[in-house]
Amino acid sequence: MTHSIANAMGNENGQSAAGPHHNEEQITLKIVLACSHWVGFPAMELLLAPNLLHGIIVPDQQSDSITRLQNTAHRHGIPLHGAPRKKDLGQLTGWLPLKEADALVVFAFPWQIPHSVLSMPRLGAYNFHTGSVPKYRGIEPIFWTIHDGAQKTAVSVLAMEHDLDTGHVVLSVPVPVSPVDTYGSLLHRYAAIGRTAMENLLFMLQKNEPIHGTPQPKGYFPLQHRPNPEELRILWKTQTTQQIYDLIRATNPTFNGASVTLRDIHFQILEAAIVQGKPSPKAIPGTVLGVDAPDGFIVACKDGALCIRIIRSQEGVFSGTRFTALYEIKRGELFLG
């Protein structure tokens, strides 16, 4: 589908956001979207409004997000390509919508796309990465951003190349990170700001030439990875109060909370609050200091204490006070780790 974006995004005087001298008759774009997650839906809706969406690529998997992408394609008559496996992506070189595309845009696609496919759109391929680069290249940048206690991050629009997340930065839209953000809340913010980044990218593509962007800083920046079970576990004796608090936020809800063990009970902490003041220096980190707080129970850390507010176990999700009563948590009990 080929349509002008000037009418759909212009101001009340018919001028586009790119400037008053823009000639809308020359602005036609065909965009193919590769996506597998709802974080890309606001940007997709932006493409649907002026009928710029020329094709949708999804992994041939089962999820609510992929089902919605499939339904959207069918409802709007948009060509859909489902790839059963990573190695099947090479077949896209023969897919007509991609051959005709001006640009490929990628949101949360699970597989690295071959360079033979990335080089097909005449104006380039662009990945919307949910983290600042180069520090948060790779997988799960949201987790690591919160885990590290970062106060700001970005939606990074990268010109895609053979290596993962190493391309030039075409756009970097700041995303604030509050002290109470969780993985879930930050992901929702990324989705909204991703739409803004998409709109900015579209206006840049109006120049009808590939966008070169700015090279990333040189140096050694290892790719982030999906956290393993040990990295999701609270280490009371070695981690600071702030580090434990940030880990809990980073695991809620995607990883079901930060893992802990008390007695033989394995469960996850989904929400906690830093307690003002410091416990007695004699308190061993991981010790239950109190069970009568109005919103949870208190656990000593190496340099402070946390009030545990929400817990997930095999029996369900409970408030700290309900969990205390259900499992008969006693003052002086010690968490492992």
> What pLDDT digit, counting tens, does each position of 51-83 carry?
899 999 999 999 999 999 999 999 999 999 999
Asked if residue 53 and residue 171 are part of one domain, the reply reads yes
CATH number of domain containing 278? 3.10.25.10
Residue 8 reports pLDDT greater than 60: no
Structural domain range at position 120: 6-205
Asked if residue 236 and residue 200 are part of one domain, the reply reads no
Residue 239: inside a domain: yes
Residue 252 reports pLDDT greater than 50: yes
The count of structural domains within the chain is: 2
Residue 165: inside a domain: yes
Residue 294: inside a domain: yes
Residue 83: inside a domain: yes
Residue 77: inside a domain: yes
Asked if residue 248 and residue 191 are part of one domain, the reply reads no
Asked if residue 155 and residue 234 are part of one domain, the reply reads no
Asked if residue 155 and residue 90 are part of one domain, the reply reads yes
Residue pair 46/199 in contact by the 8 Å Cβ criterion: yes
pLDDT digits (tens, 9 = 90+) for 195-208: 999 999 999 999 88
Asked if residue 319 and residue 242 are part of one domain, the reply reads yes
Asked if residue 282 and residue 180 are part of one domain, the reply reads no
Last residue of a domain, one of 142, 172, 205: 205
Asked if residue 233 and residue 201 are part of one domain, the reply reads no
Residue 215: inside a domain: no
Averaged pLDDT score across all residues of the chain: 91
Asked if residue 159 and residue 14 are part of one domain, the reply reads yes
